[in-house]
Amino acid sequence: MTQRNSYDIRTDRAFLPREPKMIPLPQLYAKMKDRSHHWSTCYPAWNLQYYCCLGSLKHDRPNVLVETGTNHGCSAALLAQTLVETKLEGHLHTFELDQVRANRAKKLFVELGLQDRITVYVGDCHELVPQVITPETPVDFAFIDANHATAACVAEAEMLVSNVKLGEGKFYFDNTWCGPVDAALCQLKEKYGTSGWVDFPNVSRVPNGQAIWQPWQRTQPIDWHDSKKERASE
């Protein structure tokens, strides 16, 4: 895959305005007046994320949602709200390195009445996620948004790749249009294939772009020699 070398944030600003009144969680609109939340992704990125998660929920078992990088808690609140709206069983596990941000997020969850749907883990997600999400735990939606360095982003996704059930669970990435996250997605596509990827270059901010990955084929590196043998035997 070829990494993009540059991006144009004017596309985001010109065609997709930042409109907090249109976000799916009305109670969060009031929080947007707080300057600490002004730079969050907001509309339409939150809407895309919300409905993507909503469409991933299961009715026959408790849902497991994962977020790496809680920050101030806005995205976590939206993801947890999908469980509230549908009255489905489930829980969001969100991981934040910084204690101050984690405390601010916890306060927001209490104010929104979502504290029973969300657990915040403070520390390095690369260490904590394997402790919380066991290999047998099916993950329905994973928002990868902690460390945007290429290697770290790849590692965050690969921690959960065996948990996301083929054709059902989804990965979600932010700031994907260029730079280190784009490079991470290129590596994941090279390793796991390009099926199940959808890019949205004109949402989110600096850099633009969000992406959804719903693994369809296999959660291991592709061996093209084996693939040819499989087709030949069919």
Q: What is the DSSP secondary-structure string of 4-40?
A: P----HHHHHHHS---GGGSS-HHHHHHTTSGGGTTS
Task: Determine, yes or no, domain membership for 2.
Answer: no
- pLDDT computed for residue 40 by the predictor: 59
- pLDDT computed for residue 231 by the predictor: 47
Q: What is the DSSP letter of 211?
A: E
Q: Which residues of 201-217 are buried (b: 16+ CB within 10 A; e: fewer)?
A: bbbbbebbbbbbbbbee
Q: Answer yes or no: are the C-beta atoms of 44 and 72 closer than 8 Å.
A: no
Q: Is 68 helix (H, G, I), strand (E, B) or coil?
A: strand
Task: Determine, yes or no, domain membership for 209.
Answer: yes
Q: Which residues pair with 228 in a beta bridge?
A: none
- pLDDT computed for residue 4 by the predictor: 59
Distance CA 90, CA 108 (A): 19
Task: Determine, yes or no, domain membership for 3.
Answer: no
CA angle 86, 91, 97 (to 5 degrees): 135
- pLDDT computed for residue 54 by the predictor: 94
- The structure's pTM equals 0.83
Distance CA 198, CA 1 (A): 15
Q: Which amino acid is at 136?
A: E
Distance CA 212, CA 234 (A): 31
Task: Determine, yes or no, domain membership for 112.
Answer: yes
Task: Determine, yes or no, domain membership for 228.
Answer: yes
Task: Determine, yes or no, domain membership for 1.
Answer: no
- pLDDT computed for residue 21 by the predictor: 62
Write down the residue that tokens 């993507």 correspond to.
Answer: 52
The boundaries of the domain holding residue 227 are 9-233
Tally the residues of the chain.
Answer: 234
Task: Determine, yes or no, domain membership for 212.
Answer: yes
- pLDDT computed for residue 13 by the predictor: 43
CA angle 152, 104, 91 (to 5 degrees): 65
User: Count of domains in the chain?
Assistant: 1
Distance CA 186, CA 122 (A): 29
Task: Determine, yes or no, domain membership for 4.
Answer: no
Nearest CA among 152, 157, 140, 131 for reference residue 211: 157
User: CATH no. for residue 13?
Assistant: 3.40.50.150
One digit per residue, the tens of pLDDT, for the chain of length 234 reads: 666 554 444 444 444 555 666 667 777 766 665 545 545 566 678 888 999 999 999 999 999 999 999 998 989 999 999 999 999 999 999 999 999 999 999 999 999 999 999 999 999 999 999 999 999 999 999 999 999 999 999 999 999 999 998 888 999 999 898 799 999 999 999 999 999 999 998 887 667 889 999 998 654 554 545 544 454 555
